Chain A
């Protein structure tokens, strides 16, 4: 990302951002991290009926070194967690993560010793996609939302500012207002 750091802020950067965003979003290569049932739905999304190839995504980066997007499809067990992190680390920037299915997003129905309760314990997730398993159409919707996010991603100093703003917004976010409930507000 050397060139991004050298770009000045301003109108020129905005045009470059648009071009870069459009180029990145139109050919995202997924490093399919297909683990369990969601992997089957992921495969079916690449099939003839719901065709991921129309979005430039049929070339799965078989090696993480040439992949942009990691779709964590399926339940991540304790044994698999370090492998997941290693694959994520091997992907070059810019990279995004979709956690597909409830098991990847939050542990799903398996609230036990063997499953990591949400892959965001291990990698930063951009899009959470619920479903057990999510339909191919749902996965495509998640991918579109990610494309939106990629297209509007800023570069260089604009990006730094965006990150700072997002962090501040998160830190000052109020918890869900609780009017009733067993534990009351203090538990949050």
Chain B
């Protein structure tokens, strides 16, 4: 066995390896031992590759760890194993079709990707203040439900990776209820393509509000169960308290936002500081702890679930108010708003019969608008916009550039997981190998958003 250098190895990887690297791919044990014996130095470092396929790395994240015994001397993250070319694909689709692509970037919070993209497009269109009120409230409702689902999708696997399958099962149990609501309202459990430029795809169905109220009745009990299981759990605390420490200075140096920043004590929440979609009219609190460790971040996320439930309750009350009940959910401008009101028919979901009757029998103009919008898409004036929102992982924004046409000229998703994964080195180096897992889980990266 000799030193093995991967072809095209980066400078970073060469720096990381001091001494010999053993590529063990089967072979005689004696060979390996003798090779090791010839060059045994005091502090022997092993480079361990926690490869892209690993049950504990939140997706296809590759970690290259240089270990001295149990201590991590260097930790590097290698990404790109899920790169999908979403941003390039957007340049060949209309603005509305972009929603279906963008939604699959960070797949645990699909509605946030959609909202960031659609809000940037709306800013370019100049229709930010022309959205119907009902559309705004439904957006907030769905976003907060997605926040709950995303946090549970982070806390559940957090427990699973620590070896506590019960946490996973309890979290998944509650998450299933949220996914039921998604299915009822948008038609899909994940990757909804529901928030579109101009509003939302369709209104809440019959019984939608009642289903959400039902969920709100059950949810506090389920959150309480989760908290009883985790909050004071000595094993969980032993594995997360004091682990992956990143204080405010570190967060500022690394540009970290979201729950990681709030766990240092700074109450920076874009919903409070730079509100959008009417968040300034809802009552909720930005949650912070001040322990700066993995346990603090978990507490921030749990508290945010409870705050989200508060916001959802307020949304439901507002949707039932008389002046909002019969609002449209898509902007009135026929040149932008997606024309078809969808409804469930005998052959599945499609444009409602009333809409078909309208465009075929009643209004030539409506037919033309429908045709042009579906085939060509609307035109967005030239310019660029960046609207950041507070996603469950941090600051998510979509930098959208338009050249005046029907397709995005460039759409770049600024994903918080991508940005925060750079902190892996800072969080893990100096700690134990076993602490790498809770460290990464406390960042809560979703590799779809990292790689896009």
- A41-90 contacts to B, CB under 8 A, are 41, 43-44, 46-49, 60, 62, 64, 74-75, 77-80, 83, 87
Task: Give the complex CA separation of A68 and B53 in angstroms.
Answer: 16
Tell yes or no: A144 within 8 A of B by CB.
no
Name B172's closest neighbour in chain A (CB-CB).
A47
Task: Give the complex CA separation of A49 and B88 in angstroms.
Answer: 38
Set B53, B100, B172, B175: member contacting A109, Cβ < 8 A: B100
Q: A77-B83, A110-B89 are in contact. Are A32 and B190 (CB under 8 A)?
A: no
Which residues in A have their C-beta under 8 angstroms from that of B82? 35-36, 74-75, 77, 80
Which residues in B have their C-beta under 8 angstroms from that of A40? 107-108, 153, 190
> How many chain B residues have a CB neighbour from A under 8 Å?
36
Tell me the A residues contacting B by CB distance below 8 Å. Answer: 32-37, 39-41, 43-44, 46-49, 60, 62, 64, 74-75, 77-80, 83, 87, 109-110, 112-115, 132-133, 135
Tell yes or no: B101 within 8 A of A by CB.
yes
Do A36 and B176 touch (CB < 8 A)? no
Name A133's closest neighbour in chain B (CB-CB).
B190
Task: Give the complex CA separation of A56 and B153 in angstroms.
Answer: 24
Min Cβ gap A123→B in Å is 13
Which residues in A have their C-beta under 8 angstroms from that of B259? none
A33-B53, A110-B89, A133-B189 known; 13 new pairs, CB 8 Å cut-off, are: A36-B107, A36-B448, A40-B107, A41-B189, A44-B172, A47-B175, A49-B173, A75-B84, A79-B83, A110-B85, A110-B86, A112-B85, A115-B84
Do A44 and B176 touch (CB < 8 A)? yes
Q: How many A-B residue pairs have CB under 8 A?
A: 96
Do A132 and B191 touch (CB < 8 A)? yes
Q: A37-B448, A41-B189, A109-B100 are in contact. Are A77 and B172 (CB under 8 A)?
A: no
Name 30 interchain pairs, CB-CB below 8 A, sorted by A.
A33-B53, A35-B60, A35-B82, A36-B84, A40-B107, A41-B190, A43-B156, A43-B172, A44-B172, A44-B176, A44-B189, A46-B172, A47-B172, A47-B175, A48-B172, A48-B176, A62-B55, A64-B53, A75-B84, A77-B80, A77-B451, A79-B80, A83-B52, A109-B100, A109-B104, A110-B85, A110-B89, A112-B85, A114-B85, A115-B85
Task: Give the complex CA separation of A112 and B176 in angstroms.
Answer: 33
Task: Give the complex CA separation of A41 and B179 in angstroms.
Answer: 11
Min Cβ gap B158→A in Å is 13
Tell yes or no: B268 within 8 A of A by CB.
no
Name A31's closest neighbour in chain B (CB-CB).
B53
Do A135 and B189 touch (CB < 8 A)? yes
Set B81, B86, B447: member contacting A83, Cβ < 8 A: B81
Set B59, B84, B157, B172: member contacting A110, Cβ < 8 A: B84
Task: Give the complex CA separation of A37 and B153 in angstroms.
Answer: 12
Do B176 and A47 touch (CB < 8 A)? yes
- B247-263 contacts to A, CB under 8 A, are none
Name A81's closest neighbour in chain B (CB-CB).
B81
Task: Give the complex CA separation of A114 and B157 in angstroms.
Answer: 28
Task: Give the complex CA separation of A75 and B156 in angstroms.
Answer: 23
Do A47 and B88 touch (CB < 8 A)? no
Min Cβ gap B418→A in Å is 15
Which residues in A have their C-beta under 8 angstroms from that of B404? none
Set B51, B59, B84: member contacting A34, Cβ < 8 A: B59
Min Cβ gap B81→A in Å is 4
Do A35 and B59 touch (CB < 8 A)? yes
Which residues in A have their C-beta under 8 angstroms from that of B229? none
Do B55 and A60 touch (CB < 8 A)? yes
Bitwise, B434-452 to A at CB < 8 A (1) or not (0) is 0000000000000110010
Do A80 and B81 touch (CB < 8 A)? yes
Which residues in B have their C-beta under 8 angstroms from that of A74? 82
Tell yes or no: B169 within 8 A of A by CB.
yes
Do A49 and B55 touch (CB < 8 A)? no
Do A80 and B60 touch (CB < 8 A)? yes
Task: Give the complex CA separation of A87 and B189 in angstroms.
Answer: 30
Name B169's closest neighbour in chain A (CB-CB).
A48
Which residues in A have their C-beta under 8 angstroms from that of B108? 40
Task: Give the complex CA separation of A46 and B53 in angstroms.
Answer: 18
Which residues in B have their C-beta under 8 angstroms from that of A87? 53
Min Cβ gap A16→B in Å is 32
Min Cβ gap B23→A in Å is 13
Do B172 and A112 touch (CB < 8 A)? no
Name A33's closest neighbour in chain B (CB-CB).
B53
Which residues in B have their C-beta under 8 angstroms from that of A43? 156-157, 172
Name A45's closest neighbour in chain B (CB-CB).
B172
Name B179's closest neighbour in chain A (CB-CB).
A44
Which residues in A have their C-beta under 8 angstroms from that of B55? 32, 60, 62
